[in-house]
Structure 1
Amino acid sequence: MNVTDLTGTYTYRSFLDLPDPVDDFNRLRFAQAQLELTAVPDGTVSGELILSDPGEQPLIVMDVTGKASASSRVSFTLSGRGRPPIADFHYEYDGGILPHWEAGVGQRVVLAGTVLRAEPHGGAPAGQTASFLAVRREGA
């Protein structure tokens, strides 16, 4: 596996790290977005996190930049900064590509990790964390 395996378009979902079972899975929802990444052989990663309603124009966009490395698995760190009107958004991401099962059927490339709200915005304090999964879309 190499760092360019990160390149693609993903459906990104992040979840609050609540330890107790919930009766409504939406109580765990932190964000859902489209994540577009490009990774080059030197490990540089760039892209966009696009938050929108399905089928609608983007509501808000964050530019993401970072670095990736590969040994037995690909890992990455990203920093996301919002474009106007969300220029005060700043999030940090730490994750990696999940392993594939040799006998897996229909398995996709999946990114998993944690996200940190690095700066406060809109009354939300800095320091909030969540877990994320990003599933590569077909043909991406």
Structure 2
Amino acid sequence: MNVTELSGTYTYRSFLELPDPVDDFNKLRFAQAELKLVAAPDGSVNGELILSDPGEQPLIVMDMTGRASASSRVSFTLSGRGRPPIADFHYEYDGIVLRHWETGVDQRKILAGTVLRAEPHGGAPAGQTASFLAVRRDGV
């Protein structure tokens, strides 16, 4: 796989790392957003993480920058920094592109990894982690 195949628009979802089963899946929700990435042949990655309510104007945007590399799988690291009014947001991401099954049906490109709150903001301490999945959208 070529690192440029990371480019695209994804539905991003991150999850709190709660080890016990929950009775309501929403209790695991950390964030849901639109992730837009552009990966260059040299491995540089740029994009945006856009948090909004479905069908609404963007509430907050983080600029994403990072690097991708390819061996047997594409892996990537990203740093997300908020635009005003969330300029104090700083998150770090580490992920991979999951396997595409040769016999899979309707499989989409999936990014998976972990996210770290790198700096405190709004009373939330630095250091919190979450898991994420990002599902590639059609035609984008």
With the shorter chain as reference, the TM-score category is over 0.9
How many angstroms does 1:69 deviate by? 0.1
Structure 1 gap ranges (5+): none
Name the SS for the 1:57 alignment partner: coil
Q: Is 2:64 aligned against 1:64?
A: yes
Q: Distance in 1 between matches of 2:2 and 2:66?
A: 15
1:15 alignment partner in structure 2: 15
Q: Is 2:128 aligned against 1:128?
A: yes
Partner letter of residue 51 of structure 1? L
Q: Is 2:31 aligned against 1:36?
A: no
Structure 2 gap ranges (5+): none
Superposed CA offset, 1:41-67 (max 9, x none): 000000000000000000000000000
Name the SS for the 1:21 alignment partner: coil
Name the SS for the 1:119 alignment partner: coil
Q: Distance in 1 between matches of 2:4 and 2:87?
A: 28
RMSD: 0.3
Q: Distance in 2 between matches of 1:138 and 1:88?
A: 32
1:46 alignment partner in structure 2: 46
How many angstroms does 1:14 deviate by? 0.1
Partner letter of residue 136 of structure 1? R
TM-score normalised by length of structure 1: 1.00
2:84 alignment partner in structure 1: 84
Work out the percentage of aligned pairs sharing the same amino acid: 85
Q: Is 2:24 aligned against 1:24?
A: yes
Q: Distance in 2 between matches of 1:69 and 1:101?
A: 21
